[in-house]
Amino acid sequence: MIHPKTLRKQTGAFLKTTFRSLRYRNFRLFWFGQCISLTGTWVQRTAQTWLVYSVTNSPLRVGLVGVAQFLPLLFLSLFAGVIVDRFPKRRLLVLTQALFLAQAVAMTLLTHLGIIQYWHILLLSFLFGLTQTLDMPARQSFFIDLVGPENVMNAISLNSTIVNLARILGPAVSGILMVKLGATACFFLNAVSFLPVIAGLLMIRTDEARAARRVPSMLPEIADGMRYIRRNRTLVINVLVMAVVCTFAFNNDVVIPVFAREYLNGGIHGYSFMLSMAGLGAFCAAILMAYRSKNGVSRRLLLISGTGTAAVQLATCLTRQYAVSAVLVLVVGFFNLIFMNTANSIFQVSSSNEYRGRVMSVYSFLIMGSTPIGNFLAGAVMERAGGDSGFLFCGGVTLALLALIAVFTRGELVRWLRGEAS
């Protein structure tokens, strides 16, 4: 039996290690603002997806909303990376949060007035995605300015804890609000939630203020960024693995509502509960990753978590028991988070300050820009084959393509895992 004094000492050491980035004032301001804002985002995201599916009764149209949202990331991420490398990131983030606020206000007004239509949601999703294209690389490359390179992995993991805490709370709150007050309340709550994060950003002080670099065209800088990645074998393998997993395995937003309604015969509560379970799994993984960040980045985790995600997705098709399915979705969320954090950290620590914005724009492109392709394919498959085919398709294709990467890059992959690739 552990002595109470020893237990307190071990608990204190765990908390000090896990939450060490919160020692920095700038990171605290950013982190606490995100706690509120991200919950609101997931409240709206859940309500919007269920609203589209309830009105259209079409998995394909649900998928097309994802296509509209993430299409700008597919085509404009690399240009956004150049902008992030040119301008102070804090100012860019204040701008993007204000634009997100405007989008949420528009959704609130259209829904409250009873004039919301499918094309409105498509258009506003596209505008949200356009803003997100700039926001994501700016946000991801901002962490190193807040805590320094030695704590960047811990900061990424702590940010993931609130992202995934929001994934737990957001769908649950959204389910209650939609039943009691309707979708309008969800969109209004999201609009209000952006105010704290904007206030926090305005209070942050960093040393990044600098004159914007002007060049005749963005294309030479994009090409220079791509050459930089191509010369670094660590980044190349990271890109290949991410391209497969993010395109085919990361389609929960489209698959889960159809899976919950058609395969598990659940309604809005079943759908929001499944999203919360995925968020709970990811939250647990984020805490784990924040604690183990003191050990540095483990490249093996990228392959383990990517393969684990696909394997568990296949396992969901073996049972129709609600409780078992919920546990499997939780495990999917757990592996998803480990994969994203590991990939993010590899990009961050393997790139120089000069190229970090452009490198992180490639991360944004892979993690979000590939979503239109995956959402469309998953939605189309479920439209024809039913709700149980979504996870089967996503997991099966992911495992097959990861196996091909392992076969065709076997020698280089072994050197990469040993830390010899650079």
pLDDT at 330 over 60: yes
Q: Write the CATH number for 258.
A: 1.20.1250.20
Taking the whole predicted model, whether its pTM rises above 0.85 is answered as no
Angle between helices 152-180 and 118-147 (to 10 degrees): 150
For 318, residues 6+ apart whose C-beta sits below 8 A from its C-beta are none
pLDDT at 5 over 80: no
> What pLDDT score does 421 carry?
52
Question: Taking a C-beta distance cutoff of 8 angstroms, is the pair 204, 72 a contact?
Answer: no
Residue type, 344: N
Least confident of 153-162, 216-225, 264-273, 313-322: 264-273
Q: Tell me how far apart the alpha carbons of residues 92 and 134 are, in angstroms, rounded to a whole number.
A: 8
Question: Taking a C-beta distance cutoff of 8 angstroms, is the pair 246, 370 a contact?
Answer: yes
Count of other CB atoms within 10 angstroms of residue 327 = 16
Q: What is the C-alpha R_g of the chain? A: 21
Q: Which residue has the higher pLDDT, 44 or 50?
A: 44
Residue 358 pLDDT class (50, 70, 90 cuts): confident
Q: What is the pLDDT of residues 71-117, one digit of tens each?
A: 887 788 778 888 888 888 889 999 999 999 999 999 999 988 988 88
pLDDT at 55 over 50: yes
> What pLDDT score does 369 carry?
63
Asked, for residue 3, whether it belongs to a domain, the answer is no
Q: Tell me how far apart the alpha carbons of residues 157 and 154 are, in angstroms, rounded to a whole number.
A: 5
Count of other CB atoms within 10 angstroms of residue 150 = 10
For 6, residues 6+ apart whose C-beta sits below 8 A from its C-beta are none
Q: Tell me how far apart the alpha carbons of residues 43 and 64 are, in angstroms, rounded to a whole number.
A: 20
Asked, for residue 282, whether it belongs to a domain, the answer is yes
- Average confidence (pLDDT) over 22-49: 86
Question: Taking a C-beta distance cutoff of 8 angstroms, is the pair 210, 334 a contact?
Answer: no
pLDDT at 401 over 90: yes
Domain count of the chain? 1
Q: What is the pLDDT of residues 331-341, one digit of tens each?
A: 998 998 899 88
For residue 168, give both structure tokens: 């737990």
Following CA atoms 66, 71, 73, 76 in sequence, which dihedral angle do they give, to the nearest 10 degrees? -170
| Mean pLDDT, all residues of the chain | 81
> What pLDDT score does 292 carry?
77
pLDDT at 36 over 70: yes
Q: Tell me how far apart the alpha carbons of residues 14 and 156 are, in angstroms, rounded to a whole number.
A: 17
DSSP H stretches of helix in 204-321: 219-231, 233-248, 252-258, 268-292, 300-315
Asked, for residue 116, whether it belongs to a domain, the answer is yes
> What pLDDT score does 266 carry?
62
Asked, for residue 422, whether it belongs to a domain, the answer is no
> What pLDDT score does 127 carry?
92
> What pLDDT score does 209 carry?
47
Least confident of 51-55, 284-288, 311-315: 51-55
Using the structure block, give the residue that is written with the tokens 């992911």: 398
Q: Which residue has the higher pLDDT, 50 or 395?
A: 395
Q: By C-alpha distance, which of 366, 350, 355 is closest to 82?
A: 355
Show the domain range for 185.
12-204+211-417
* Helices vs. strands in the chain: H and E counts, helices first: 17, 0
Asked, for residue 363, whether it belongs to a domain, the answer is yes
Asked, for residue 7, whether it belongs to a domain, the answer is no
Asked, for residue 1, whether it belongs to a domain, the answer is no
Count of other CB atoms within 10 angstroms of residue 112 = 15
pLDDT at 268 over 80: no
The listed range with the strongest mean pLDDT (141-150, 206-215, 266-275, 364-373) is: 141-150
> What pLDDT score does 223 carry?
84
pLDDT at 42 over 70: yes
Q: Which residues of 279-296 are buried (b: 16+ CB within 10 A; e: fewer)?
A: bbbbbbbbbbbbbbbeee
pLDDT at 211 over 60: no
